[in-house]
């Protein structure tokens, strides 16, 4: 009996953002415009990159099962998962740290980070 190889599944990107319901009307059109209707994995976690270890598990899965080549990390203004620690400076620091760690573990991945303002503005966070 010969085994039949499973087809390789591929999508371009993995998007990680907060689960906050207030973001959905902003995020969905942005992600669809960026990647298309069926070309991305999406992960909603309380706090976005706040729990880096959980984010890393999803990045590993995205690489392994969908051969992703891009990761987009999005934190947002007034994130209740961060509580009082949710300052702009902390979000930027966490996003850049997550980006750096992912790039170190997966050098072939492109990683982009954004801070989403509740008015709908995506602010690109660039390494210093």
pTM of the predicted model as reported, rounded to 2 decimal places = 0.92
What pLDDT sits at residue 5?
67
Mark the ranges of the chain whose per-residue pLDDT is less than 50.
none
Question: In the CATH scheme, what is the code of domain 13-125?
Answer: 3.40.1050.10
* 79-85 contact pairs (CB < 8 A, 24+): 79/18, 79/20, 79/47, 79/48, 79/50, 80/20, 81/18, 81/46, 81/47, 81/48, 81/50, 82/47, 82/50
pLDDT of the residue at 9:
85
Question: Would you state the pLDDT for residue 127?
Answer: 80
């Amino acid at each position: 009996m010969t085994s039949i190889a499973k087809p390789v599944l591929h999508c371009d990107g993995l998007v990680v953002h907060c689960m906050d319901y207030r973001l959905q009307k902003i995020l969905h059109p942005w992600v669809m415009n960026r990647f298309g209707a069926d070309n991305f994995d999406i992960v909603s976690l309380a706090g976005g990159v706040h729990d880096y270890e959980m984010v890393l598990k999803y990045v590993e899965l995205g690489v392994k099962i969908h051969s992703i080549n891009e990761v987009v990390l999005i934190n947002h203004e007034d994130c209740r998962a961060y509580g009082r620690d949710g300052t702009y400076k902390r979000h930027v620091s966490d996003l850049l740290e997550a980006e750096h760690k992912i790039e170190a573990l997966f050098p072939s991945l492109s990683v982009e980070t954004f801070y989403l303002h509740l008015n709908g503005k995506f602010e690109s966070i660039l390494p210093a």
